[in-house]
Amino acid sequence: MNPLRVAVAVARKDLLSEWRTRELVPALAQFVILALLIGNFGFQVDSRNANVIAPGILWMALVFAGLVAFGRTFAAEREQSSLEAMLMTPASPLAIFAGKAAAAAAMLVLCEAVLLPALALFFGSPISIELITAVLLATVGMSALGVLFAAIVARVRARELLLPLLILPLWIPIVIAGAQAVQSAFGLPGSYDQAIGLLVDFDILFVVLTSLAARFVLDE
């Protein structure tokens, strides 16, 4: 079987099932709006400090929305025990993993499509190409790690407890580089090019490492 076609088929299946139920993306959208609301209460935002606070709120909202999204990645497979069925086909586990990661990344991008305009509306921060590039690059690494660890915890008893504990520390490098890029995109000091370069490096590293590890995780 052509691995690329397998990956596309798995991603298409996930996106189609999301399109039919429309469960996750609306929930995520509401979740990020709520995160912005709580950020507003927590920080006493006004026009002078909004630019300083906005990057922090953006990353908090994105990271926690990511946790919610990746926690649901294998929900359907778990409920129907269909992951075992998929793994019994001759399709390579890596292709299945890539398809799941692509679908999860697409849903996180939809969530970002709500988050960034809402941030611009409520915090007056500009939406720029630099901002979108940084967030999209971070999504790549976050999705690779997120889906790998979602697969790891999918068959563990206390998965809701474990996923945040495992994934958040491993996302920290991406958050460090992404936050620096967004801060400089919002006009705060810091080198944008250096941060983006770092983000690309982390993306490549994590995509390669998760592809190597996927075989051991999705192999039962």
Q: Is 156 in the site for another protein (CB under 8 A)?
A: yes
Q: How far is the CB of 147 from another protein (least distance, A)?
A: 13
Task: Restricting to residues 162-181, name those near another protein by CB under 8 A.
Answer: 162, 165-166, 169-170, 172-173, 176-177
Q: Which member of 36, 135, 198, 203 binds another protein (CB under 8 A)?
A: 198
Q: Answer yes or no whether residue 188 interacts with another protein by CB under 8 A.
A: no
Task: Note whether 78 binds another protein by CB under 8 A.
Answer: yes
Helix (H, G, I), strand (E, B) or coil at 83: helix
- What are the tokens at 35? 């995160």
* Buried-state track 145-173, b at ≥16 Cβ within 10 A, e below 16: bbbbbbbbbbeeeebeeebbebbeeebeb
User: Applying CB under 8 A, does 190 fall inside the site for another protein?
Assistant: yes
Within a 13 Å sphere around the CA of 211, how many CA atoms are in the beta-carbon half? 13
Q: Within 13 Å, how many C-alpha atoms sit on residue 161's CB side? A: 3
- Nearest distance from residue 78's CB to another protein, in Å? 6
Write the CB contacts of 138 (distance below 8 Å, at least 6 apart in sequence): 62, 174, 175, 177, 178, 199
What residue has token string 């620096």? 180
Q: Verify binding: residue 9, another protein, rule CB under 8 A.
A: no
Binding residues for another protein (CB under 8 A): 75, 78-81, 84, 145, 148, 152-153, 155-158, 161-162, 165-166, 169-170, 172-173, 176-177, 190, 194, 198, 202, 205, 209, 213, 216-217, 220
